[in-house]
């Protein structure tokens, strides 16, 4: 069991702040890459830690605390994406993130993309390039790539979180990775 969690359960007043400080970068980073919006990411990360504060007494320690927090973050981000009005409009033209009908990867429509410069070519650092490439994926695929390739979740964990079959995760991940490969071919 995480020492900070034990301290939190014992009522140590500084324990929760220490937990937030220890995991804030990873949680915020996931939210920011997933939501592509700083304020949204801040709100989502705040929700993640608040939810953790409420439920930390039920944390059994089966997984690492960071994994537990990322699961919360994944759910929160997914809910936010589903709630986003603009994305909902955008996703009307896209396949639903975890629908049964189509598990392909669709990139952003040309119209939306034409409104912004191609930051992928302008990005000078690899981190920015990757973030930009990830943002080109549809939210569902981005969510899976972040969880699988960045955070190291297994197919089964992702399937459980998304409530889809493992086969769907495999195929969607494959397509998303191939898309990332194409996007990053100039630099990778």
Partner 1 sequence: MDCEQARDRLSEYQDGNLDAAAAASLAAHLRGCADCAGCVGSLLAVRELLRNMPPEPAPPELVARVLAAVEAEAGDSVASAPPGEAEAATPFLSRFRIPLEAAAAVLLFASVYWYQRTTLPAVRPPTGPSSVISSEAPKESHSGPAAAKEVAAVNPPSRPRLPRGVPKPPKGDAPAAGPRTWTEASLPSVPALRASTDSEPIVPISPSPGPEEASRAAGAPPSGKRRGPEGDADLLLSRVFAPRPSRLLRPVPYGRDIVVDVKPEDREGAEERIAEATFRFGGIVERIDRGSESTEKGPPGTVRAILPEIAAAGFLEELRRIGTVPSTGLSAATGVPAGPRPGTVAYAIRIRVR
Q: Shortest distance, CB of residue 158 to partner 1, whole angstroms?
A: 12
Q: Which of 4, 159, 162, 173 binds partner 1 (CB under 8 A)?
A: 173
- φ/ψ (deg, to 5) at 98: -125, 30
Does residue 40 belong to the site contacting partner 1 (CB under 8 A)?
no
Does residue 130 belong to the site contacting partner 1 (CB under 8 A)?
yes
Distance between CA atoms of 69 and 36, rounded to whole angstroms? 19
Report CA 64 to chain centroid distance, whole Å. 17
Q: How is 57-103 classified by DSSP, letter by letter?
A: GG---SS-HHHHHHHHHHHHHHHHHHH-HHHHHHHTSSPPTT-SS--
Closer Cβ to partner 1, 20 or 162, answer by number: 20
x-or-dash string of contact with partner 1, 55-94, rule CB under 8 A: -xx-------------------------------------
- Coil vs helix vs strand at 155: helix
Does residue 119 belong to the site contacting partner 1 (CB under 8 A)?
no
| Neighbouring C-beta atoms of residue 41, cutoff 10 Å | 22
- Look up residue 144 and give its two tokens: 């899976």
Residue 117, by phi and psi: left (phi above 0), alpha (psi -120 to 50) or beta?
A: beta
Total H helices, total E strands in the chain: 11, 0
Q: Which of 38, 61, 99, 122 binds partner 1 (CB under 8 A)?
A: 38
Q: Which of 63, 64, 88, 181 binds partner 1 (CB under 8 A)?
A: 181
# of chain residues touching partner 1 (CB under 8 A): 46
Residues at the site binding partner 1, with contacts judged by CB under 8 A: 8-9, 11, 13-14, 16-17, 20-21, 24-29, 32-33, 38, 42, 45-46, 49-50, 53-54, 56-57, 126-127, 130-131, 145, 149-150, 152, 155, 170, 173-174, 177-178, 180-181, 184-185, 188
């Amino acid at each position: 069991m995480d020492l900070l969690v034990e301290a939190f359960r014992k009522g140590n007043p500084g324990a929760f702040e220490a937990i937030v400080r220890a995991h804030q970068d990873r949680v915020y980073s996931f939210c920011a890459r997933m939501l592509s919006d700083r304020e949204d990411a801040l709100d989502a990360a705040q929700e993640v830690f608040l939810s953790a504060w409420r439920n930390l007494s039920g944390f059994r320690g089966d997984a690492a605390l960071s994994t537990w927090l990322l699961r919360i973050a994944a759910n929160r981000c997914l809910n936010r994406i589903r709630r986003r009005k603009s994305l909902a409009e955008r996703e009307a033209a896209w396949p639903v993130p975890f629908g049964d009908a189509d598990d392909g990867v669709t990139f952003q429509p040309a119209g939306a993309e034409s409104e912004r410069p191609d930051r992928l070519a302008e990005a000078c650092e690899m981190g920015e390039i990757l973030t930009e490439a990830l943002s080109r994926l549809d939210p569902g695929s981005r969510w899976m790539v972040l969880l699988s390739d960045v955070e190291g979740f297994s197919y089964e964990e992702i399937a459980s979180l998304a409530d889809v079959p493992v086969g769907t995760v495999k195929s969607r991940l494959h397509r998303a990775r191939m898309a990332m490969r194409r996007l990053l071919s100039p630099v990778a």
